[in-house]
Amino acid sequence: MDVSVVILNYNVKYYLDACLSTVLKAMENIDGEIIVADNASTDGSREYFKNKYQKEVKFLWFNENHGFAKAYNKAVKYAKGKYIFILNPDTLLAEDTIEKLLSFARQHPDAGIIGGKMIDGTGNFLPESKRGVPKPWTALWRLTGLYKLLPFSPFNKYYAPHLKSDETGPVEILTGAFMFLKKDLYEKAGGFDERYFMFGEDIDFSYTILLQGKTNYYYPEAKILHFKGESTIKDKTYIRHFFNASMQFQKKFFHIFAFNEALSRLFFKIWLSFRIKKSKKMKGYNYKTAFYFGEAEHVRFVQEAGYPKIIHLEDIDLLIPGNRTLIIDMSSIKFSEILPIMEKLSQKNISFRFYFPSNKLLLGSDSKDQLSIAYLLN
């Protein structure tokens, strides 16, 4: 078997449902399997999937929330593929994503982790798709925002600026939302460090792979949409886990002093407090009127989500940018074609929604810092 896709679910059943529908399409020409581990969700995930994907997906239902690292380590033990594809449930894949990752991995047999290009629900590139090692000062420049004011070395290393968003090449750190690597390398590295409950385990793991002499790669030809934040409410618990994970990494590899830790604690609190207070909606949008690209007979279902007026588009290129909501019927166009459209319209004030007719789902996100919308339609 070539590829084992391993997904960890925690209270995001609708996003996982949509994700699985795209993963299945991406696996059509792959000798592989799909494993979903559930971290003791309380949103009815187990009941929701009782009669869904039973032949296509192996579900593991944990009785407690093990956190990211331990849960993935437990799930990977069931994997039979030569390659492991670690994937977040709040993602949508292009149909050719896994084929491209597998091809790239075969062409680079000594590669460590391979990551791809992620865009958010507004079509904007997510810079965490590629990162540098967050050494103490690098992390400080990131948190204070100095890397934006001084966009040159040594201040601007956090987001691996040596590579453009569409340029393939070596990077140090990749995100745990999107990791592709050999299973034996995963095991040799010891898997994710289980001392991390949430956050930081992907940075630690990426760095551990580097220390083994491997090269991690950013490969933007493999693309996904990452809604971001669906499993995480940005509250005081979030702040504590985020800070503790960062400090754990710094202490483990760089032996920081108490003064550095105190300074980092201060900046983390300021930065995360700012993140929490950010606006949760895009301003100026008309959420009542929507433009719809897809099958006309599906419009009446989409209206249930609160769009009393829907204008049917026969061609997405006919959409006039500017404070508009665009609903895309996922049965009418390949997702590999949708992603470049989103990137093209990313700065045009478009609010995207994705309708999955077979799943009766409508998903979307207007900010990488907010929880996305998700409707189960009749």
Q: What pLDDT is attached to residue 193?
A: 92
Confidence at 282, pLDDT banded by 50, 70, 90:
very low
Q: What pLDDT is attached to residue 272?
A: 58
Question: 244: closest CA among 302, 30, 236?
Answer: 236
CB atoms within 10 A of CB 222: 26
> Which tens digit of pLDDT belongs to each residue from 315-367?
888 888 888 899 999 999 999 999 999 999 998 889 899 999 999 999 998 87
More confident: 34 or 305: 34
Q: What pLDDT is attached to residue 376?
A: 84
Check pLDDT > 90 for residue 375: no
Q: What pLDDT is attached to residue 237?
A: 63
- Per mean pLDDT, which range of 23-27, 123-127, 239-243, 305-309 is the poorest? 239-243
Confidence at 10, pLDDT banded by 50, 70, 90:
very high
Q: What pLDDT is attached to residue 336?
A: 96
Domain extents for the chain?
3-138+154-226, 289-376
More confident: 270 or 326: 326
Cβ–Cβ < 8 Å for 21, 356? yes
Cα 155 from chain centroid (whole Å): 26
Give the integer Cα–Cα distance in Å for 253 and 249.
6
More confident: 378 or 18: 18
Mention every residue, 6+ apart, whose C-beta is less than 8 A from residue 315. Answer: 293
The mean pLDDT of 294-314, rounded to a whole number, is 88
The enclosing H or E element of 89 equals: none
Mean pLDDT across the chain, nearest whole number? 85
Output the six-digit token pair for 224. Answer: 């996904």
> 14 in helix, strand or coil?
helix
Q: Domain 289-376 adopts which CATH fold? A: Rossmann fold (3.40.50)
Cis peptide before 154 (omega within 30 of 0): yes
Q: Which CATH number fits domain 3-138+154-226: 3.90.850.10, 3.90.550.10, 3.40.50.300, 1.10.580.10?
A: 3.90.550.10
Check pLDDT > 80 for residue 156: no
Confidence at 373, pLDDT banded by 50, 70, 90:
confident
User: What phi and psi, each to the nearest 5 degrees, are found at residue 165?
Assistant: -65, -25
Q: What pLDDT is attached to residue 99?
A: 98
More confident: 374 or 17: 17
> Does pTM surpass 0.75?
yes
Pairing of strands 91-93, 361-364: unpaired
Task: Output the CA torsion 166→329→25→105 (10° steps).
Answer: 10
Q: What pLDDT is attached to residue 368?
A: 61
Give the integer Cα–Cα distance in Å for 357 and 298.
7
